Structure 1
Amino acid sequence: MLSFDVLVIGGGGAGMRAAIEAARAHECSVALLTKAHPLRSTTGCTGGGINAVLNSADPDDTVEKYIKDTIVGGDYLNDQDAVEFFASQAASAVKELDRFGVPFFRDETGRIAQSRGGGASAPRVCWTLGHAIAHSLYEQYLRYEIYDLSDVFLLDLTVENGRLQGVIALNIQTGTVFPIAAKAVVMATGGAGRIYWQRTTDPVDCTGDGLAICLKAGIALKDTEFVQFHPTALAATGILLSEAARGAGAYLLNRDGERFMSRYEPEKMELATRDAISTAIETEIREGRGYGTGAGAHVMLDLRHIDRGILQDKLKQVYDAAVKFEGLDPSESLLPIRPACHYMMGGIDVVDFKTCTTSIPGLFAAGECACVSVQGANRLGGNALSEVVVFGKTAGAAAAAYAKSQLVSDHASLQDGVSCWQLRFASVRARQSGISLTKIRERLAACMWENVGISRNARSLQVALDTICELKQDYESVEIGDSQQRGNSAFVHYLEVGNLLDIAYAVTLGALSRRESRGCHQRSDFPARDDANFLKHTLISKIDGDFHVNYRPVSITKYLPTERKP
């Protein structure tokens, strides 16, 4: 049986950073398990830069301003002590990436160039691509003796008497179900944007696997109702156009050619927070000032006034996406855009931000799958990559320290888990008839976009819950259409859709229970923020198959909630 001191699940930025930090702890065996190659992660898809206070562009910027911006942008649902820790660590994390070889854009003095992102009071977005960060982290990852478990799918966590034993996994290539013993596990599996399937900027494998498996193991999911919709995704494909475009001066136009943000955020305009802009775009479309109708409705992003050199250099991702996927040159043409699911503020409940510990000793979580909570009800652009590297490092160090204090435990429960999963794998493969998995997935996505999208209400959310329950029943009779043991990607996708159903239910239940509008959670039947009743975290748990809702107070250290004004 494979056995490690630290097992990291997920090969994105947070997972690689955690594995690197754990491997730096001498006499600590480390493995990284991922269902795809690490360079195919969401981190490698990001193009908006990473936040830190470096004072390159503004010598008067401070960590305290960064803290306040993050809290105000998160509509005061952030745990403020966690934000203080996060903001104070971000600069050292960026400087470390610089030493790792990440190619940041530079200003005329050679310092890391910075620009102002949405919701920020100062320029603190450090210009680089997530692709570059992922490659630089991978180079560091290869330096250490980290056992590679790529093309392996996580099936289950094994916990006995409140103590973590390890995990059950599936080797996708061979079809072998096998146990992995571990003293400590770091969950870094990314988000679950594919609950909306096509209307997301996430890669196709962002199916909430780690969240669903932790939920099954008894760990609560926190603030799942807070799903951020990025305002500028290409209307036809959902492919992201980075926030850097608006940071460089792009305009948002309705069909009348009006910069409509003047009606919603007259001071910040296109640099308002993502939730504010997404809501404004959907309002323009709903009130008839957008282009097109139905699923094809959109507004326009205008970059024609921006120098072509800037477009092809600092905004290369935006430029290339427009040319390759829309056939449009952004220096000459308007780009059709509409919001798409981009990021989940909620996730696995982290109970100690200084270690990224969960409610199960030895299980840690970092990155988008975790809720620390530093993002609150709405994430600022540039804060995702900052969170990835800050808390990836934090979780890796804490996991290594925990593992050193533990003795090897009995692994009988791991072997029992393998037998159960072998039977399930064989049973699902053997089905000769049943319901189409694709139809379940597509119906789920349509239900979530229509009922649990940017604007929600009690009626739409109840429709969604009822639909998801029906889909869960249908899921029990799915035929995957592939009886092979080796390379059975149909079975993997079957598991992914099952995970999406659980996460979709948790998102919807949290949204129905939170009877207010806050950040990116907008209720048309409760349009006001309600600090008296809902300045608290939502905790969704699953016990014996039933979902339950509880709450926990927000940690407030300095900034009392005030109205978030345009």
Structure 2
Amino acid sequence: MAAVKKSLPRRRFDVVVVGAGGAGMRCSLQLANAGLSVAVLSKVFPTRSHTVAAQGGVSASLGNMSEDDWYWHMYDTVKGSDWLGDQDAIEFMCREAPSAVYELEHFGMPFDRNPDGTIYQRPFGGHTANFGEKPVQRACAAADRTGHAMLHTLYQRNVAARTQFFVEWMALDLLRNEAGDVLGVTALEMETGEIYVLEAKTTVLATGGAGRIWAASTNAFINTGDGLGMAARAGIPLQDMEFWQFHPTGVAGAGVLITEGVRGEGGILLNKDGERFMERYAPTLKDLAPRDFVSRSMDQEIKEGRGCGPNGNYVLLKLDHLGADVINKRLPSIREIAIKFGNVDPIKEPIPVVPTIHYQMGGIPTNYNGQVMAPKDGENQVVNGLYAIGECAAVSVHGANRLGTNSLLDLIVFGRAAGNHIVDSHPERQHSHQPVPESSIDYSLDRVDTLEKRTGGEKTQDVGNAIREAMQHHCGVFRTIDLLEKGVTAIEDIAQRAANISFKDKSKVFNTARIEALEVTNMIEVARATTRSAAARTESRGAHALDDHPERDDVNWLRHTLWYSEGSRLDYKPVQMQPLSVESFPPKARTF
């Protein structure tokens, strides 16, 4: 065994980026343009990363369609986060938004245009003018394929910059020395089944979300929380994992996303009586209230017997009144999705929709430069050599609830910020890589080897389905402490089963059974973090809505949760209430 471990092939880079979505490729572009040797690992071809599924837009206070200001954007984001977002990071993101979007435009991203040639912007939920006075048009859109346009634009720029892509590779574990510095990753090449040591002076996690731990999800099958699992196994805490966004409009029975841009263009939600019910819940913003608010309102309508369909288990999204021209120009993909997955043509009839898990607000804790932060010796300190960006990171700009279109903005702003910070640290001037301890490599190899050699045990699919069913039942739109505590027990029981997974096919080349088994080991870490963190938070805030604790509790719970895998231990840290250069927004009740 020792000889096999020593013969592992090794590659060395200035930077290894794990994940080729919007965040990963925006970061790698900065690095490659600066002349650094950079490797980007991706389980799928880069343009198949999940950013491609984002539809509605990317937020920036350009003011092309109506008066706007970055300070209003900041207020909306703080309020949308239910005051759990860090105000220094939120200010940074909202200030940087216009330049980040104009940069994309100069890269060649095909935004829709106004008659005067400026970027088209549509309204989106929770985005307002003059501190909540009225909706504002802030979402810069490329029809309903904004993420698709962004991802292809960034990939083309990376190709021009000669970024080195490792396509169909899966990162396995972080490599750390005794001081806790991150020195690279172990990774599996799917084509050959070989495991490599990829040494790096800097490692960037950009692995996206983990929405596949739920049964009904808008997420791609690749969204299994790989970066979160890697961080958790390396002893790094996961932050605010109790907060998961249910998107109001997933196609009923299919979970496929119907963008909030439909409501931005004028679509409305109806119950079985044909009532526009959001006027009762949010008199000012109506259907464009933040997502957590709309999802709970929809769920309430269904629970009180006003749902549609033979089982009364969905509501309707009406957009036929917009007209065929608007739908075909601004929402062509939505029409296609509705026909294929909902069996309705939205030009003629409404789409059946239901709240569906969509986005994780929590993740690996970082500062606004993308550096991973973790408590050490009683202080919050940088984890040397490690960055995290995008949905797998908790900066935290989204807090307890993310505003629509702030996700694509998060990718480009913090992807660029991390890239710039790494370039400024000049890894190319560090003449040698630090030696990687054999014990760190052995840990990863032993984990895979144990899985390889097991001949009997749990089937991967059975354990994966058990995770999804438990999360769907115990961590829904509305929660109770009793339900969550039972969820903790259920998930810990499933974790024991996950430790005993086996698969029959031991072949090396493109063995998807091996990949799926490794993904489940990441999914269970995310599920443990979510249920344990949620069961401990005895308040309702943003996406975490407890029936038995319906009010927000700023006295006891205006703080971030930190979950550690070892012992499923919880710790907490304060929310950063002080912005970088402006006055803070003190907490107040959220009304819309």
TM-score by length of 2: 0.92
Distance in 1 of aligned mates of 2:504 and 2:266: 50
Write the deviation string for residues 95-123 of structure 1: whole angstroms up to 9, x where unpaired: 01101111101111111011110011121
CA contact (8 A) 1:19 1:32 kept: yes
Structure 1 residue aligned with 2:432: 408
Q: Does 1:16 align with 2:3?
A: no
AA aligned opposite 1:462: E
Q: Which of 520, 536, 540 is residue 497 of structure 1 equivalent to?
A: 520
Structure 2 residue aligned with 1:176: 194
Structure 2 residue aligned with 1:118: 125
Q: Does 1:453 align with 2:471?
A: no
Structure 2 residue runs without a partner (length 5+): 1-9, 129-135, 374-381, 579-583
Q: Which of 501, 504, 515 is residue 478 of structure 1 equivalent to?
A: 501
Q: Which of 246, 255, 259 is residue 276 of structure 2 equivalent to?
A: 259
CA contact (8 A) 1:30 1:145 kept: no
Q: Does 1:56 align with 2:77?
A: no
Structure 2 residue aligned with 1:89: 96
CA contact (8 A) 1:185 1:399 kept: no
- Report % sequence identity: 39
Tell me the secondary structure at the aligned position of residue 476 of structure 2.
Answer: coil
Tell me the secondary structure at the aligned position of residue 124 of structure 1.
Answer: strand
C-alpha deviation, 1:389, in angstroms: 0.3
Distance in 1 of aligned mates of 2:444 and 2:337: 41
Structure 2 residue aligned with 1:232: 249
Structure 2 residue aligned with 1:369: 392
Distance in 2 of aligned mates of 1:425 and 1:46: 33
CA contact (8 A) 1:11 1:41 kept: yes
Structure 2 residue aligned with 1:148: 165
Of stretches 470-479 and 89-98 in structure 1, the one that deviates more from structure 2 is 470-479
Tell me the secondary structure at the aligned position of residue 4 of structure 1.
Answer: strand
Structure 1 residue runs without a partner (length 5+): none
Q: Does 1:560 align with 2:568?
A: no
Q: Which of 193, 212, 221 is residue 194 of structure 1 equivalent to?
A: 212
Tell me the secondary structure at the aligned position of residue 546 of structure 1.
Answer: helix
Distance in 2 of aligned mates of 1:182 and 1:439: 36
C-alpha deviation, 1:440, in angstroms: 1.4
C-alpha deviation, 1:34, in angstroms: 1.1
Distance in 1 of aligned mates of 2:293 and 2:62: 27
Give the 3 Å change call, closer, same or farther, for CA 163–426 of structure 1 in structure 2: closer
Structure 2 residue aligned with 1:319: 335
Q: Does 1:394 align with 2:412?
A: no
C-alpha deviation, 1:195, in angstroms: 0.8
Distance in 1 of aligned mates of 2:383 and 2:93: 23
Give the 3 Å change call, closer, same or farther, for CA 226–405 of structure 1 in structure 2: farther
Give the 3 Å change call, closer, same or farther, for CA 76–3 of structure 1 in structure 2: same
Q: Does 1:302 align with 2:318?
A: yes
C-alpha deviation, 1:473, in angstroms: 0.9
C-alpha deviation, 1:417, in angstroms: 4.3
Distance in 1 of aligned mates of 2:415 and 2:434: 29
C-alpha deviation, 1:405, in angstroms: 5.6
Distance in 2 of aligned mates of 1:317 and 1:336: 16
CA contact (8 A) 1:6 1:400 kept: no
Distance in 2 of aligned mates of 1:354 and 1:434: 43
CA contact (8 A) 2:183 2:436 kept: no
Distance in 2 of aligned mates of 1:405 and 1:530: 49
C-alpha deviation, 1:409, in angstroms: 3.6
Q: Which of 323, 333, 358 is residue 342 of structure 1 equivalent to?
A: 358
Distance in 1 of aligned mates of 2:395 and 2:429: 24
Distance in 2 of aligned mates of 1:12 and 1:510: 27
Distance in 2 of aligned mates of 1:144 and 1:188: 19
Distance in 2 of aligned mates of 1:308 and 1:454: 33
AA aligned opposite 2:194: T
C-alpha deviation, 1:147, in angstroms: 1.8
CA contact (8 A) 1:51 1:124 kept: yes
Structure 2 residue aligned with 1:5: 14
Distance in 1 of aligned mates of 2:444 and 2:551: 47
Q: Which of 549, 554, 563 is residue 570 of structure 2 equivalent to?
A: 549
Distance in 2 of aligned mates of 1:366 and 1:228: 18
C-alpha deviation, 1:266, in angstroms: 1.7
Distance in 2 of aligned mates of 1:301 and 1:365: 36
Q: Which of 45, 65, 69 is residue 37 of structure 1 equivalent to?
A: 45
Aligned length: 558
CA contact (8 A) 1:178 1:418 kept: no
CA contact (8 A) 2:239 2:562 kept: yes
Q: Does 1:73 align with 2:80?
A: yes
TM-score by length of 1: 0.96
AA aligned opposite 1:269: K
The two structures, once aligned, show a CA RMSD in angstroms of 1.5
CA contact (8 A) 1:207 1:500 kept: yes
Q: Does 1:283 align with 2:300?
A: yes
Tell me the secondary structure at the aligned position of residue 330 of structure 2.
Answer: coil
Give the 3 Å change call, closer, same or farther, for CA 286–293 of structure 1 in structure 2: farther
C-alpha deviation, 1:247, in angstroms: 0.5
C-alpha deviation, 1:325, in angstroms: 1.8
Distance in 1 of aligned mates of 2:245 and 2:307: 21
Write the deviation string for residues 304-349 of structure 1: whole angstroms up to 9, x where unpaired: 1111111111111211111122221101112110011111111100
Structure 1 residue aligned with 2:492: 469
Q: Does 1:353 align with 2:364?
A: no
Structure 2 residue aligned with 1:518: 541
Q: Does 1:242 align with 2:259?
A: yes
AA aligned opposite 2:570: V
CA contact (8 A) 1:14 1:188 kept: yes
Tell me the secondary structure at the aligned position of residue 391 of structure 1.
Answer: helix
